[in-house]
Chains A and B, each alone.
Chain A
Amino acid sequence: MTHESNASGGSWLDREHTVAKPGFSRWLVPPAALCVHLCIGQVYAFSVFNLPMTKLLGITQSTPDDWKLTELGWIFSIAIVFLGLAAAFTGTWLDRVGPRKAMVTAALCFGGGFLISALGVFLHQLWIVYLGYGVIGGCGLGIGYISPVKTLITWFPDRPGMATGMAIMGFGGGALIASPLSVWLMQRFASPTHVGVAETFIVLGLIYFFFMMMGAVIVRVPAPGWAPKGYVKPAQPKKLVTDQEVHVDQALKTPQFYLLWGVLCLNVTAGIGVLGQASAMSQEMFPGRITAIAASGFVGLLSIFNMFGRFFWASTSDYIGRRNTYMVFFLLGMALYAAVPWTGHTGNVVLFVLFYCIIISMYGGGFATIPAYLKDIFGTRYVGAIHGRLLTAWSAAGVFGPVLVNYIREYQIDHGVAKANAYSVTMYIMAGLLFIGFLLNYFMHPVHERHHLKPEEAKA
């Protein structure tokens, strides 16, 4: 069956041409997914370009005609918004065409976005950068993010959390590579008359395109009816693990979708709010003890915990269940957020760092566990499309979290609170958000059978 399909007509990109032949190891699929996620994770490191891009004309310092930091901040925001939109609107298409075509599309968008942005930098036209990295690159982010999820869940029905956790771990790890690589490239291309951003964009665009295409070459889908050796489908599924399928359009009509949307949004809001402020927060809570250089090390440490948390918590969810995993996120998160001000008052840097590392590991874990949670609730068939729709929660949290942290901090300082104490109220509010998330997760229950695909629809 698999051999015949490869001999038939059609494009190399088609789903039929990605069906694995006998002897293919499913352990080749996670690195294929990582090829994509390690690249698109670069978005978290985009800020390394902000300062150099304010000196494109002045070289050593900004001139009045140079771009402002506030204008440059929109590049990241546009990219994240288009990530959510692309994931939401292309999920159904992706489920139909398969992972390879989606990965190639993502590679073209993300790599091409860099090349277009290089042109924008070269011509000093910011709208071209918005279009290149923000809009087109952002679409590459969204398509690339969801492209391997369903494939991994299908290859690893015995450990779906671990499989998707591995891929989404790559998204957290992408910044660890991109940040030093981008700085190194800019140093290589910089000259007395040039900051080297355009050339760095070109090189990164080509590297990322090549890397993501390797993922597209490696990726395979299992043949129909395939199962891992020794795997026996549970005869009696757990209460919150369905053996039915829910169509993506039906999923949007269920309360479960919106409960999960809220669960993801609140978990991400709490994490993303403090992640963006981690450097400033650590320096202001421990003035004179955590320097700017040490704070950048702290941010790096958080990135590592963000990355490994994705794998650790998603893998753990295979054993303790998705709902229990989120219960841990919310209960432990509440305790830790509430305890962070205490570490500041007592001057305990070690506990401050430890608490934050655990908090951020659970932030990453929330992203990585959600695909398997969706699979448990709605089945495997439309999980990619449903996951895409759910990622709009990320876009909302991306706006809500930082705004909440920044405005509360400003309000506190404006009302005479010392900078060292200005984050206390924020932490308690974050703990409150997690409590709401806890309640939403607590009320999760199986989808009513009227939403399930009929047997004849499931066979189609």
Chain B
Amino acid sequence: MAKTHEDVSDGTTLKLILAWSFVGIPLAWGIYETLANAVLLFH
């Protein structure tokens, strides 16, 4: 029978939040900076 890893503990939830924040925050900043410049296109 196939093993699963889907039984996620609280510790794993915290790891998920930290890992996604680690990549998500810089990416969100980059998108914000780019959009702020892109707005000039429509002025």
Contact = CB atoms under 8 A, between A and B. Distances in A.
Interface of A: 20, 22-28, 31-32, 34-35, 38, 170, 173, 176-181, 214, 218, 222-223, 225-229, 231, 290, 293-298, 300-301, 303-304, 353
A228 B30 contact: no
Interface in B1-28: 2-9, 12, 15-16, 19-20, 22-23, 26-27
A173 B41 CA distance: 20
Interface on chain A toward B: helix, strand, loop, or mixed SS? helix
B4 A229 contact: yes
Given A176-B31, A176-B33, A293-B40, A27 B3 contact: no
Given A25-B5, A176-B30, A177-B27, A32 B19 contact: yes
A367 to B, nearest CB: 17
Contacts of A301: 34-35, 38, 41
Nearest to A2: B3
Given A23-B5, A35-B23, 8 more contacts: A28-B16, A176-B34, A181-B30, A227-B3, A229-B4, A293-B40, A301-B34, A301-B41
Q: Most B CB atoms within 10 A — which of A24, A31, A178, A231?
A: A31
In this complex, the member of B2, B4, B5 whose beta carbon has the largest number of chain A beta carbons within 10 angstroms is B5
- A26, A34, A170, A176: which has the most chain B beta carbons within 10 Å? A176
A223 B5 CA distance: 10
Contact of A173 (B2, B31, B39): B31
Interface of B: 2-9, 12, 15-16, 19-20, 22-23, 26-27, 29-31, 33-35, 37-41, 43
Contacts of A38: 23, 26-27
Contacts of A170: 23, 27
A173 B30 contact: yes
B36 to A, nearest CB: 9
A304 B19 contact: no
Contact of B23 (A22, A31, A227): A31
A300 B4 contact: no
Nearest to A308: B31
Contacts of B27: 34, 38, 170, 173, 176-177
Contacts of B9: 23
A31 B37 CA distance: 27
A31 B22 CA distance: 8
Contacts of A22: 3, 5, 7
Contact of A31 (B6, B20, B30, B33): B20
A231 B3 CA distance: 11
Given A25-B16, A31-B20, A227 B2 contact: yes
16 contacts: A22-B3, A22-B7, A28-B12, A34-B27, A173-B27, A173-B31, A180-B34, A225-B2, A226-B3, A226-B4, A226-B5, A227-B3, A290-B41, A295-B41, A303-B34, A304-B38
